[in-house]
Amino acid sequence: MFWTSGAARAARRIATAAALGGGGLTALGALTYGLLIAEAMVARKIVGRPHGETGPASDGVYGPFPGDAVPGEPISMVMLGDSTAVGLGLTDPADTPAVNIALGLATVAERPVRLHVYGESGAESVHLDGQVDRAIEEGPDIAVVFIGANDVTSATSPARAVRHLQTAVRRLREAGAEVVVGTCPDLGTIRPIAQPLRWVTRRWSRLLAAAQTVAVIEAGGRTVAFADLLGPEFEANPAEMFGPDRYHPSAQGYLQSAYAVLPSVCAALGFWPESEPLRGKGSQLAAMAVEEPGTEVTATRGAGEAVGPPGRRAALLRRRSGPLSNG
């Protein structure tokens, strides 16, 4: 419980600094921040960019399927974020997380899904603004965002990163879209990142994920915790879950991320029953979500409102974790 209570306080401090426009250094302190800046440059050189800058073209309409009745109006889905949102390292669009989520949603909803991918390799949270501009033009029903890893490896102030993410979520919600954010993964599983940077990135990425959760639910979105959902599987089976650069996921790794997010996407649109929630303060549940594989945090309604001031109540929904069968 030490991590949960400590992370709850840290997440709230970061989210509060973001809300106030503060650029407070970090929850980890100036010395650690300087260490991360220096060693992040080394890690970036080690990882390099063996996959280029773009993933496979994935825009299109997915579904209906053979034997379906007359299809309904397509659901509009947009995918925003970084290289994990575009499926960097893959060659077949069918292996990307965006297409797998779209196909899963089309199956559950029994309606086609029109997908547009606006994510960009190397994107940090500050780059979401331009992606949201383009996404809003599509009038999306659902927006899925994978973001956070580059904020850590570029040593971006967590408060700054969270502020940009919250603004993006709020804009999408105001445009009428449901929003599901896959929070920062546990970068401590990345083998090319050596110690002590690996410890630093693990700590930082978990704090950022918790702060992202607080900010996203306050903007009316939902979050899915990636830190432990994918972390143990990647750490135990790196050859299977990582791609050739040992940094970006393999096709199986990307499939796992899609599998984690799909129930939340379907639930947000009313096509999937909600699990029994654990209710509490947003900051506390945010910290728990980082530790609970496959959890989602969403705002609870009070006085007829879905969003409200910092510290309001939220609900943590548990999603089933574990490897996804290809069968």
Cα angle: 82, vertex 83, 85; to 5 degrees: 70
With residues binned 3-state (H G I as helix, E B as strand, rest as coil), the percentages for the chain, rounded to 5, are: 50, 15, 40
Across 36-64, b (16+ Cβ under 10 Å) vs e yields: beebbeebbeebeeebeeebbebeeebbb
Active site residue 245: yes
From the list 127, 248, 257, 264, the catalytic residue is: 248
DSSP per position, 157-199: -HHHHHHHHHHHHHHHHHTT-EEEEEPPP-GGG-TTS-TTHHH
From the list 59, 154, 245, 275, the catalytic residue is: 245
CA-wise closest residue to 147 among 133, 167, 126, 130: 126
Cβ contact 151:158 at 8 Å: yes
| Element housing 122 (H / E) | none
Handedness of CA 281, 282, 285, 286 (dihedral sign): negative
φ, ψ dihedrals at 295, nearest 5°: -95, 155
Active site residue 83: yes
How far apart (Å, rounded) are the C-alpha atoms in residues 93 and 90? 7
Q: Which two tokens stand for residue 95?
A: 């292996």
Residues recorded for the chain: 327
Active site residue 129: no
CA-wise closest residue to 89 among 49, 117, 125: 49
Cβ contact 181:222 at 8 Å: yes
From the list 83, 125, 205, 257, the catalytic residue is: 83
How far apart (Å, rounded) are the C-alpha atoms in residues 110 and 127? 34
Q: Which amino acids are annotated catalytic?
A: 83, 245, 248
